[in-house]
Copies of this chain bind each other. A is one copy, B any other.
Amino acid sequence: KEEEEEDVAAGVRVPVVRLKFGEVAESTKVVILPVCRAEEKDKEVMEAPWECTSEGELGVMVAEKGWKRWVVLPGWEPVVSLGKGGVVVSFSDARVLPWKANRWYKEEPILVVADRSKREVEADDGFYLAAMDGEGLGFKVVRGSALKEAGVEESLGTVVLIVRPPRDETDDQLSDEDWE
């Protein structure tokens, strides 16, 4: 819709969705995922619980181990499809994304949903969570092609979804274009 959004969508294989107020809601299913802070580097990403199963009729979620940070996401397909190894990394802004950074990208926090069970760098146009040596950010979202050029074969996980925060304006959902 906006020019900015189009820039972002170009060539991106990862859906970027903006959460709506009350959206954790419009699906018949929600997913609880463990959250790591980008500031903690790869430590938390490796340590966060891998297996979170649903117990009984009342939807109690049981993780294999205790964890402090959790987020509830609507049952979006990439999230529901996660098996063991799903994890969310919270970034204070979106400059970690490898595509053109727009103004709002520096102002908005994002959540990156990744699949730790898919660590191998396979697709050139896929996106991966990768720890960056010597960089203050801890890790970044990196294109498969860039990792391959750098000789990196294994990432921390394949990125399956990027979530932006809700806005006050209600008609601001990203279009299907963002899904490529």
Q: Do residues B58 and A68 form an inter-chain contact, with CB atoms below 8 A?
A: no
- Cα distance A22–B27 when bound, in Å? 6
- Cα distance A59–B21 when bound, in Å? 10
- Cα distance A177–B28 when bound, in Å? 26
Which residues of B have CB within 8 Å of A135? none
Most buried by B among A25, A56, A166: A25
Which residues of B have CB within 8 Å of A109? 56-58
- Cα distance A56–B93 when bound, in Å? 12
- Cα distance A70–B111 when bound, in Å? 20
A163 in complex: contacting residue of B22, B58, B165, CB < 8 Å = B58
A59 in complex: contacting residue of B24, B55, B57, B62, CB < 8 Å = B24
- Cα distance A57–B165 when bound, in Å? 6
- Chain A interface size range: 35 or more
Which residues of B have CB within 8 Å of A56? 90, 109, 165
- Cα distance A52–B76 when bound, in Å? 25
A147 at the interface (CB under 8 A from B): no
- Interface segment out of the listed A6-14, A29-37, A79-87, A121-129: A29-37
- Cα distance A34–B22 when bound, in Å? 21
A111 in complex: contacting residue of B29, B58, B63, CB < 8 Å = B58
Q: How far is the CB of A96 from chain B (nearest CB, A)?
A: 15
Q: Do residues A67 and B67 form an inter-chain contact, with CB atoms below 8 A?
A: yes
A151 at the interface (CB under 8 A from B): no
User: Can you list, as one digit per residue, whether each of A34-70 has a CB less than 8 Å from chain B (1) or not (0)?
Assistant: 0100000000000001000001111111111111111
Known: A30-B30, A57-B109, A58-B109. 8 other contacts (CB 8 A): A22-B29, A24-B72, A25-B30, A35-B60, A56-B90, A61-B72, A62-B68, A63-B70
Leading 3 A-B pairs by shortest Cβ distance: A66-B66, A22-B28, A57-B165
